[in-house]
Structure 1
Amino acid sequence: MTLDPDLLQRLQDLAGAPPMYELPLDTAREGFRKRNLLLDGPQMHAVEDLKIASGPREVPLRLYRPTNASELPVILYLHGGGFVIGDLDTHDALCRSLSLASGALVVSVDYALAPENRFPAGLEDCITAFRWVQDNVQSIGANPAAITIAGDSAGANLAIACTRRLRAEGASSPSAQLLAYPVAAAPDRGRASYRDRGSGWGLTTETMEWFWNQYIGDPSQSDHPDAVPLLAGDLDLLPRTWLLTAEFDPLRDEGIELGSRIAAAGVALTHVHEPTANHGFLSQGNSVSLSERTLRKAAGWLVEGWG
């Protein structure tokens, strides 16, 4: 197996750049932001920036509307970035593409980042955002029976925890979830995917360890099931799930194991493993044909489920 040529070119374009974990935090965030701003997303019928209160914080949201129709399905999107980097702009192109391909409203969440706000602050923001969507379905023109939660990498981790928390509390919760190469466990150099794919393919072992240490401030929280989905004993609470894993990804094995556990818990699971992709490839959108095709697979699964 070899990496998709377009994705390989993206890696070569970044060759020689200093590792993220060696950079000042603001520099790492701005570099990630600038790279992703080079990606173009499709035009929307409307895009609106909002802010909601989450405890002492204000959480920015971005609402993508593909058409002027009402009663649209809605996707709450939680961006990746290791819980440390990423924002509304870094995932703007992906959210636009997902909205257009699925015909759904997308609400992107700019949750609190670590280390300024460590676990579980970002998760609490995501739960607040989901409840805001529920409370405002009529005003935003959404269908309350078709609310999906989605995320990539750290965002997929947060999506799982958000859904589990809501369902455990007996609250209304997402009817489906879309998970791309999730952070399902603490970094583990003993996993084969960390040994085989932990360097040279984009996300590295050292960067993942840096992310995790920023996110989990209290070592006693490092095995909390809200931070480590593989340690959750209530995966049966999850709704139907679409899971994406990538071969050239240090998170490959934990994602595959998570899929097996979700299926064993009796949850309807569609698992797509992309043998020529690396971590984060879905964000490349229409600039990489593999990324665009995979995003359309995810959107098609959602549309089929919405009926």
Structure 2
Amino acid sequence: MSSSIRKPGLAEISPEWTEFAKHVQVPPLLGDPVELRKMKFPQDDSPPVGFSIKQIPVPGYQGWTNQARIYTPDVRHTTRAIVIYVHGGGWTVGDLDTEDAVCRTMCKSSGVIVVSLDYRKAPENPFPIGLEDVWAGVLWVFDNIESLGGDPARVILGGLSAGGNIAAVLTQRARDTKKVTSCGQILRIPLVVHPKAQPAQLDFSSYEENANAPILPSASVTQFLGYYNAPPEDTRVSPLLAKDLSGLPRTYIQIAGADPLRDDGFAYAEKLQQAGVSVKVDVYPGLPHGFMMLPLATSRRSDEDLVKAIEWMVEAWLVT
């Protein structure tokens, strides 16, 4: 994989981004949480066609009431695969609107039920509160999977950035519990190891190469981890450090070239493969963290790649 995918020059800003940035100013994610929460990505307010959307309260951690947004295809099946999705935002910002667009795409294009789970944010609610809110939501999905119309053998956990971190952690937890099964995990531009706990033998040069990258410079990663306040070597924030990755389901990882977290994706893909896990990786050279949430041609391609990956994960259930 290192020779075929981890190519030099991935951090060189792409012409597509250079042209986009001439017309749209996207400030770096640096600052006070209150100010950061005022920043919004474009939203899709169009009525759903071919599927329905509803938002309901679900149990959170330690008695808190969380929110879930459920996307269900109109065409009835006996049961459907379910994607449990966790939005990004450095464990600090974001809500169910943040990645509504990709949840719509997954539901409409893949024919899956999508359950998008919110969670409480740091620093007001530091580690592990948000993580455990999502886990409580995952357990709720399995307790109610029949009424949702889902198949417990075809459940995928996924998310973007901090949401991808949470998905990676909980996929490991799911493997170790009889309460939850998973046929796949979607990790879009994830952090999988705290910078202070990066194994010395692995290459994390992406932090240096992308120190001043658009959207998420390296200082932003440090900032958000400070808000989250997780112990660096705790596998609930650094799933790369887990001693055993065997037995995990098919894994799909999206990696942005101009992203400090680029090498997190490569490192996790390589370690999963060494443990015998089936892994697919798509790399988007020269594009910054979170690019897929903006109106770019490559954003559309990344959504198409995601849909193909979901089909690949669901196929795993058919051949086992």
TM-score over 0.5 for the pair: yes
Residue aligned with 2:65, SS? strand
- 2:65 is aligned to 58
* Partner Cα distance (1:300, 1:165) in 2: 25
Cα displacement string for residues 274-298 of structure 1 (whole angstroms, at most 9, x for unaligned residues): 22422112223xx322111221122
* Partner Cα distance (2:178, 2:278) in 1: 20
* Partner Cα distance (2:90, 2:307) in 1: 24
- 1:108 is aligned to 116
- 1:252 is aligned to 262
Q: Name structure 2 gaps, 5 residues minimum.
A: 1-8, 316-320
- 1:72 is aligned to 80
Cα displacement string for residues 48-91 of structure 1 (whole angstroms, at most 9, x for unaligned residues): 00111222311110001232323121100011111111110111
Where do 1:129-208 residues align within 5 Å?
129-187=137-195, 191-208=204-221
**Deviates further, 161-170 or 70-79:** 161-170
- 1:36 is aligned to 42
RMSD across aligned positions (CA):
2.3
- 2:52 is aligned to 46
Letter in 1 for 2:33: L
* Partner Cα distance (1:206, 1:276) in 2: 19
User: Is it true that 1:26 corresponds to 2:34 in the alignment?
Assistant: yes
Letter in 2 for 1:61: A
Q: Percent of pairs identical after alignment?
A: 31
Deviation of residue 16 (structure 1)?
A: 8.0
Q: Is the 8 A contact 1:44 1:96 kept in 2?
A: no
Q: Is the 8 A contact 1:147 1:176 kept in 2?
A: yes
Deviation of residue 111 (structure 1)?
A: 1.0
* Partner Cα distance (1:26, 1:108) in 2: 23
Deviation of residue 224 (structure 1)?
A: 0.1
- 1:229 is aligned to 239
Deviation of residue 7 (structure 1)?
A: 3.5
Q: How many residues align?
A: 298
* Partner Cα distance (1:72, 1:143) in 2: 6
Letter in 2 for 1:235: L
* Partner Cα distance (1:75, 1:6) in 2: 30
Letter in 2 for 1:66: P
Residue aligned with 2:90, SS? coil
- 1:212 is aligned to 225
Q: Is the 8 A contact 1:42 1:100 kept in 2?
A: no
TM-score, normalised on structure 1?
0.89
* Partner Cα distance (1:41, 1:181) in 2: 29
TM-score, normalised on structure 2?
0.86
* Partner Cα distance (2:192, 2:155) in 1: 23
**Deviates further, 270-279 or 54-63:** 270-279
* Partner Cα distance (2:54, 2:217) in 1: 35
Q: Name structure 1 gaps, 5 residues minimum.
A: none
Cα displacement string for residues 128-184 of structure 1 (whole angstroms, at most 9, x for unaligned residues): 111111111111111222111111111111001111112223432211111111111
